[in-house]
């Protein structure tokens, strides 16, 4: 009974998002001729891939009722790790990339440890690690940037596979895998249960701590992967990479219908929300709105979308 | 067991960063330097081969109206308002150029890349830019060149192959000499000083710091360089960093050099508010409007800059000449409206002139 009410509520939120997306695509294509071309749309997916990967993992984190503010710093840290391991220690580039991503995962697992083993609330724990990892990145890089990567490395960030940008494929595969994991596996059910009622989940012998650890570790892993993709896209490593990305990811997840208190959320919602935000950013800019105007309009739009979502939830609950 | 693994991994990271921290970094880039002679004899500028990029299949724009987008490092600071004004003045004078200024609200390279990408998709005829990072901006600029758009940089360079021309406000070594000479005049040839810069990877600041390092090693070897701190063109951060320097070094630090037009007034503010006016010298790059109160209070003796309005003006004219085809690789001068003929050095750099020193005597004559 509750399950169908739940699914009905979720379905209506995603349907509303899809409708808004279609509306936005239509309006923006009217405002500018260059918006609806396949080259532009594929390029936009390429640009949103990094935040997209982080938002996918953030969906899991938020559904457990937690939050991860350190993802931006982990992105910067793994970008720096890649640069330092390759240029200073001479490790071959593919190995350095794997180690950088693994470093991101270790950082995420550290977050998970602090949250599960020491019982620190996720907001505070990741707020602290956000500063810590950024500091590590600054320290390791000493403010220098690493450049001069071989051309073959740029296929990740700037190349195409069968005509589709590489990041689009990576994002697609990740979205499908995470979506399946959340909706159709016992692991996903546990994630939802932790967010809905953690005490009940514990008393039902669900492996709450282990799942939380995996979820935060996965968040770090995605942030690491995003860092490597970013370096490949901009051909350089900077210690300030990823600053502010945590807010963009959280915005996408919350707009996608996930409850910030946990227990509710879908990957489809997150993906639709990501697409909507990117469309707006791009379409408004092409229509001639300047950067500062775009921020205002997107903010207004997000407020309207969240209010509308709440309204529809209340109607569906009756 | 798992926790020991994670703890050791984290410890390795921290130890790694501590080990890397041994080498103090002054904030310069690793490119070769060319310091001027201590007594001011101008250096011989070698004529280099053209090293800029060129647009692929650019349409014939000679004499036709063109749309140009100007993407400064960030919007909302006096210096970039001045360069944008110069571009707008030039466009109005030419009559056949429409220039829009659109930039990020923070000096963020990612936002700059997104803005440039959107304008490439939208379709502009020309791009004027001041880069936040010379390497990161190169892929998107090359994309613009491949789309047949004319690309000219000013103020902060990118990799040479990613743009056609770069309008340099003054020679890097000239700015370095001016800053160090003015600093030494106030703190003496054996004083100690610290630098507040934007970030260690911002192209123009990094270049200037490298040249300053080379020039001071050559001419003032007893000058003591304490530290370089980053302040990212942010007012509050610059103020806090300057305060931290004053507290950290106390009497040891005799001078602060501000490398950005935001850092210098903020450092002067920090020095004034901590009551160190006259004890800690502040020298740097800044607009006269921002520094006027400190110059008139005798806290700051000299401010080094050039005319940013002229810089934007020249950049717009160079872009027009490149779009018209009248400025070709291998040229040695270019006509820039009311500024006359500007010389081209180092292959693809257009030189605006020499740095200008503002002091109490002349700071009131300028309004930017």
| DSSP string over A244-277 | THHHHHHHHHHHTT--TTSS---HHHHHHHHHHH
Is residue B27's pLDDT more than 80? no
Can you tell me the mean pLDDT for B218-241? 90
Q: Given this model, what pLDDT does residue A244 score?
A: 86
Mutation choice for B interface testing from A32, A33, A165, A234 by most B CBs within 10 A: A234
Smallest Cβ–Cβ distance between B136 and the set A84, A139, A235 belongs to A235
**Is the Cα torsion angle A167, A173, A174, A176 positive or negative in sign?**
positive
Which residues of chain A from 79 to 138 reach within 8 Å of chain B, CB to CB?
A: 84, 88, 103, 106, 109-110, 113, 117, 135-136
Span B111-132, average pLDDT: 92
8 Å CB contact between A261 and A195 = yes
Min Cα–Cα distance to chain B from A217, Å: 12
For the ranges A270-274, B44-48, B173-177, the lowest mean pLDDT is seen at B44-48
B26 interfacial to chain A (CB closer than 8 Å): no
CATH fit for domain B66-170+307-353, picks 3.30.420.40, 3.40.50.2300, 3.20.20.70, 3.90.950.10? 3.40.50.2300
Which pLDDT score is estimated for B233? 86
* Residues in chain B within 8 Å Cβ distance of A43: 117, 121
ipTM entry: 0.80
Q: How many Å is the Cα radius of gyration of chain A?
A: 20
- pLDDT, one tens digit per residue, over B195-210 is 999 888 888 898 899 9
The 3-state DSSP class for residue B345 equals: strand
Comparing A299 with A179, the larger pLDDT belongs to A179
Task: DSSP for B289-329, please give it.
Answer: HHHHHHHHTTS---EEE--HHHHHHHHHHHHHHHHHT-S-T
Residue A16 clears pLDDT 90, i.e. is over it:
no
CATH class for the domain made up of A35-287: mainly alpha
pLDDT at B19: 58
CATH architecture of B172-305: 3-Layer(aba) Sandwich (3.40)
Given an 8 Å threshold on Cβ–Cβ distance, is A145 in contact with B105?
no
* A216 sits in which H/E element: helix A208-234
Length of chain B: 368
Report in angstroms the alpha-carbon separations of A16 from A20, A46, A256, A306, B207: 6, 25, 10, 11, 52
Per-residue pLDDT band for A188 (boundaries 50, 70, 90) equals: very high
For residues B266-280, average pLDDT: 91
What per-residue confidence (pLDDT) applies to A301? 82
Instruction: State yes or no: pLDDT of B21 exceeds 60.
Output: no
- Give yes or no for residue B18 having a pLDDT over 70: no
User: What is the residue-averaged pLDDT of chain B?
Assistant: 87
Interface test with chain A among B10, B118, B147, B201, by most A beta carbons within 10 Å: B118
Over residues B338-347, the pLDDT tens digits come to 988 998 888 8
pLDDT digit string (tens) for A223-237?
999 999 999 988 888
Inter-chain CB proximity A234 and B136 less than 8 Å? yes
pLDDT band at A275 (very low <50, low <70, confident <90, very high): very high
Q: In this model, does residue B306 exceed pLDDT 50? A: yes
pLDDT at residue A14 in the model: 86
Three-state SS for B223? Answer: coil
Candidates B130, B72, B77; CA nearest to B290 is B77
What would the two tokens of residue B167 be?
Answer: 């309008």
pLDDT confidence of residue B58:
87
Instruction: Please give the Cα distance from A272 to A241 (Å, whole number).
Output: 25
Is B172-305 the same fold as B66-170+307-353? yes
Split at pLDDT 50, 70, 90, the class of A113 is very high
Average pLDDT of the residues in B60-89: 92
pLDDT(B367) > 50: yes
8 Å CB contact between B296 and B74: no
How much is the pLDDT for B173?
A: 86
In sequence order, what are the residues at sequence separation of 6 or more whose Cβ sits closer than 8 angstroms to the Cβ of residue A306? A254, A255
Domain residue spans of chain B: 66-170+307-353, 172-305
Averaged pLDDT, B142-150: 94
Query: What pLDDT does B23 receive?
Result: 47
pLDDT the model gives residue B5: 67
Q: Is the pLDDT of residue B49 over 60?
A: yes
Q: Is the pLDDT of residue A1 over 70?
A: no
Q: Which of A37, A45, A140 to mutate to test the interface with B (most CBs of B within 10 A)?
A: A140
Instruction: Give the number of other CB atoms < 10 A from CB of residue A232.
Output: 21
Per-residue exposure over B303-329, b if at least 16 CB sit within 10 Å of its own CB, e if not: bbbbbbbbbbbbbbbbbbbbbbeebeb
CB pairs under 8 A between A and B: 107
Q: What is the mean pLDDT of residues A79-105?
A: 92
Radius of gyration of chain B (CA): 21
Chain A CB contacts of B108 under 8 Å are 240, 243
What pTM was estimated for this model as a whole?
A: 0.84
What is the pLDDT at residue B162? 93
Contact A113 B109 (CB under 8 A): no
- Which range has highest mean pLDDT (A189-193, A284-288, B12-16, B223-227)? A189-193
**Cα–Cα dist A267/A176, whole Å:** 8
Distance, in Å, from the CA atom of B232 to the CA atom of B235, rounded to the nearest integer, reads 9
Q: State mean pLDDT over B228-245.
A: 91
pLDDT for position B22 = 42
How far apart, in whole angstroms, are the C-alpha atoms of residue B138 and residue B134?
7
Q: How many other CB atoms are there within 10 angstroms of residue B347's CB atom?
A: 17
């Amino acid at each position: 009974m509750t399950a169908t009410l739940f699914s009905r509520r979720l379905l209506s939120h995603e349907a509303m998002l899809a409708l808004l997306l279609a509306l936005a695509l239509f309006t923006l294509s009217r405002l500018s001729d260059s918006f609806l071309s396949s080259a532009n749309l594929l390029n936009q997916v390429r640009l949103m891939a990094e935040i997209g990967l982080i938002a996918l993992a953030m969906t899991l984190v938020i559904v457990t009722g937690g939050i991860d503010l350190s993802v931006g710093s982990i992105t910067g840290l793994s970008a720096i790790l890649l640069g330092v391991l390759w240029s200073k220690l001479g490790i071959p580039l593919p190995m350095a990339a794997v180690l950088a991503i693994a470093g991101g995962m270790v950082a995420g697992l550290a977050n998970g440890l602090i949250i599960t083993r020491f019982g620190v609330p996720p907001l505070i724990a990741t707020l602290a690690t956000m500063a810590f990892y950024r500091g590590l990145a600054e320290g390791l890089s000493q403010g220098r940037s690493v450049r001069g990567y071989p051309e073959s490395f740029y296929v990740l960030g700037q190349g195409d596979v069968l005509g589709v940008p590489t990041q689009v494929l990576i994002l697609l595969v990740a979205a499908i895998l995470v979506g399946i994991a959340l909706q159709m596996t016992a692991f996903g059910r546990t994630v939802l249960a932790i967010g809905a009622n953690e005490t009940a989940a514990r008393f039902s012998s669900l492996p709450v701590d282990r799942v939380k650890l995996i979820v935060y570790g996965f968040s770090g892993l995605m942030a690491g992967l995003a860092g490597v993709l970013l370096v490949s896209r901009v051909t350089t490593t900077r210690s300030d990479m990823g600053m502010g990305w945590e807010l963009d990811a959280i915005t996408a997840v919350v707009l996608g219908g996930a409850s910030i208190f946990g227990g509710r959320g879908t990957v489809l919602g997150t993906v639709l929300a990501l697409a909507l935000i990117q469309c707006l950013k791009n379409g408004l800019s092409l229509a001639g709105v300047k950067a500062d105007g775009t921020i205002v309009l997107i903010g207004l739009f997000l407020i309207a979308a969240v209010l509308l979502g709440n309204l529809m939830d209340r109607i569906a609950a009756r | 067991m798992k926790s020991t693994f994670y703890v050791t991994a984290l410890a390795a990271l921290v130890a790694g960063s501590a080990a890397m921290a041994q080498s103090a970094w002054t904030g310069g880039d690793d490119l070769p330097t060319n310091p001027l002679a201590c007594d001011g004899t101008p250096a011989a500028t070698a004529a280099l081969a053209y090293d800029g990029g060129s647009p692929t299949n650019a349409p014939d724009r000679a004499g036709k109206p063109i749309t140009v987008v100007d993407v400064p490092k960030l919007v909302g600071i006096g210096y970039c308002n001045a360069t944008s004004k110069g571009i707008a003045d030039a466009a109005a004078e030419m009559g056949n150029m429409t220039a829009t200024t659109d930039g990020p609200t923070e000096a963020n390279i990612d936002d700059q890349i997104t803005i440039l990408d959107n304008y490439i998709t939208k379709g502009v005829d020309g791009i004027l830019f001041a880069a936040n990072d010379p390497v990161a901006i190169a892929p998107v600029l090359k994309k613009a060149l491949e789309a047949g758009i004319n690309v000219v940089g000013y103020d902060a360079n990118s990799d040479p192959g990613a743009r056609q021309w770069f309008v340099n406000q003054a020679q890097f070594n000239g700015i370095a000499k001016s800053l160090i000479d003015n600093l030494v005049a106030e703190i003496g040839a054996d004083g100690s000083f610290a630098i507040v810069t934007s970030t260690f990877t911002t192209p123009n600041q990094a270049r200037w710091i490298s040249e300053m390092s080379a020039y001071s090693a050559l001419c003032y070897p007893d000058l003591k360089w304490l530290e370089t701190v980053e302040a990212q063109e942010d007012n509050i951060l610059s103020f806090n960093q300057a305060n931290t320097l004053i507290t950290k070094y106390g009497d040891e630090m005799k001078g602060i050099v501000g490398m950005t037009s935001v850092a210098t007034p903020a450092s002067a503010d920090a020095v004034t508010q901590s009551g160190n006016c006259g004890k800690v010298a502040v020298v740097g790059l800044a607009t006269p409007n921002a520094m006027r109160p400190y110059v008139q209070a005798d806290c700051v003796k000299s401010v080094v800059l050039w005319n940013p309005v002229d810089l934007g003006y020249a950049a717009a004219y160079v872009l027009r000449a490149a779009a018209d085809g009248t400025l070709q690789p291998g040229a040695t001068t270019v006509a820039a409206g009311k500024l006359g003929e500007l010389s081209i050095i180092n292959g693809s750099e257009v030189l605006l002139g020499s740095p200008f020193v503002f002091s109490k005597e002349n700071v009131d004559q300028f309004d930017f």
